[in-house]
Amino acid sequence: MCQNCVTAANMAEGIPETMKAVVAYAPKDYRLEQVAVPKIGPQEILVKVEACGICAGDVKAFEGPPAFGG
């Protein structure tokens, strides 16, 4: 058996219980919060994100839909 193999059992030992996440409550109301790390199922993976960016679509989502009549 491999001594340095990564398995679900030894990976779970290093996964924290909480993580930081930006939570969207409403247009222009996004908050950085500490939330529970999601539980993963047998056919799923958990990915650690160290950095991310935003694009024009993200800004439109933040602003919300345009007002009726423009």
pLDDT tens, residue by residue, 44-65? 999 989 999 989 888 988 998 8
Q: Which domain holds residue 54?
A: 13-63
Task: Return the amino acid letter for 3.
Answer: Q
Residue 2 included in any domain: no
6 within domain boundaries: no
Number of domains in the chain: 1
Query: Could you give the angle at the alpha carbon of 62 between the alpha carbons of 57 and 68, nearest 5°?
Result: 90
Give the per-residue pLDDT at 7: 66
Contacts of 9 (CB under 8 A, 6+ apart): none
> Is the residue at 1 inside a domain?
no
pLDDT in tens, 23-48: 999 999 999 999 999 998 989 999 98
pTM of the model: 0.65
Name the token pair of 50: 């160290």
